[in-house]
Amino acid sequence: MIASTQPTVWSTIKATIARHPASAFLIFFYVTGWIFFLPALLGTSGFGLFAYDLPPQPSILLLTIVGLAGGAFLVTRIADGKDGVRELRSRYFTWRTGPQWYLLALFGAPLLLLVGAAVVQGTSVLGAFGANLPQFLPNYVLQVVLIAVLISLWEETGWMSFLTARWQKRFGPVFASLMVAPLFGLGHFPLLFLAGGLTDSGRLTTSEVPEYIFYLLVLFAVPVRLILTWVFNSTGGSLPLVALLHASFDVVASAAILTGFYPGVDGRLMYFGLAIVAIGVLVITRGRLGYRETAVERAPVRIPVPTPVPLR
């Protein structure tokens, strides 16, 4: 009996994933994303095909855990084996770094919006914010930690620890971040069609959709990805810190924080501020964003030269 050497369908799929891990991860994420959002999209909050109303939050939670974190671990296991999974998992426990990074992750975003509002609207904003500071701190910190644990940690497992970390070895940190930015923005695309998906005020109008697409793909995604990559590289690959910083962006831009502690302030000021910060980080780090090549990456590729055989 001679065993068949014909590859099975599963072995062919595994070989394809191993050759193209980034593409496999993105396909898995976008397919699962639309599947998870489909029930909410079909309800009254979406296209209204069925008479039920589902909030987007369960879909977001499932997508981050299964589509992003699950996809990252699945593709890593196939492409890089157990060692790759072990390295990816270690990012959850990389938290020992300087206290300045925790201060930045927790309070950088609210301070940035406060400074931007003071520049645009005057220093009266500072007094109003200071009066509510005792209520702001516990409210804000609790929300940031909660969203970081439930959403951002799993979200950045895919975008940062898997995709950006993989691509920056080939293309450098800046190009990797710029490549991830629109893909990250497109992951939010189903929320455009859901009432309360991107804003707390209800459904977007037709005229607002192009504006929000611009904010998602450019003004929001590009600076956020550059800054998060810088923090990730500068802290030795700390996923908890990246998750805290990402969560702080989301919380500061939420209607609850804006109306309660930044009355009359346009939350989009923070995104303009992030763009300025991202440019400053690029200049200060000379485009390296804290990235340090490993000895293996720095080593030149040596091509063996055949030894000539003397003629006799």
| Percent of the chain whose predicted confidence (pLDDT) is above 70 | 86
Mean per-residue pLDDT, 32-51? 91
**Domains contained in the chain, number:** 1
- Interatomic CA distance for residues 48 and 41, integer angstroms: 8
Is 117 inside a domain boundary?
yes
Q: Whole domain around residue 133: which residue ranges?
A: 93-292
Mean per-residue pLDDT, 136-145? 95
Nearest to 243 by CA among 231, 233, 234, 255: 231
Is 51 inside a domain boundary?
no
DSSP label at 192?
Answer: G
pTM of the shown model = 0.88
The pLDDT tens digits of the residues spanning 254-265 come to: 888 988 899 888
Mean per-residue pLDDT, 134-146? 95
- Interatomic CA distance for residues 142 and 136, integer angstroms: 10
Mean pLDDT value across the chain: 88
Is 187 inside a domain boundary?
yes
Burial 42-81 (b: 16+ CB within 10 A, else e): ebebbeeeeeeebebeebbebbbbbbbbbbbbbbbebbbe
Q: Is the predicted pLDDT of residue 166 greater than 80, yes or no? A: yes
Instruction: Considering only residues 300 and 16, tell me which one the structure prediction assigns the higher pLDDT.
Output: 16
Is 211 inside a domain boundary?
yes
Is 210 inside a domain boundary?
yes
DSSP label at 193?
Answer: G
pLDDT at residue 249, as a whole number: 94
Query: Which three-class secondary structure state does DSSP give residue 303?
Result: coil
Is 70 inside a domain boundary?
no
Give the orientation angle of helix 221-234 with respect to helix 269-284, to 10 degrees.
Answer: 50
| Cβ 277 vs Cβ 285: under 8 Å | no
Is 30 inside a domain boundary?
no
| Cβ 243 vs Cβ 153: under 8 Å | yes
Exposed/middle/buried for 290, CB within 10 Å: 0-12, 13-18, 19+? middle
The highest-confidence range among 10-14, 96-100, 144-148, 256-260, by mean pLDDT, is 144-148
Is 73 inside a domain boundary?
no
Please state, in angstroms and as integers, the Cα–Cα distance from residue 286 to each residue in 73, 161, 274, 289, following that order.
32, 22, 18, 8
- Interatomic CA distance for residues 310 and 133, integer angstroms: 84
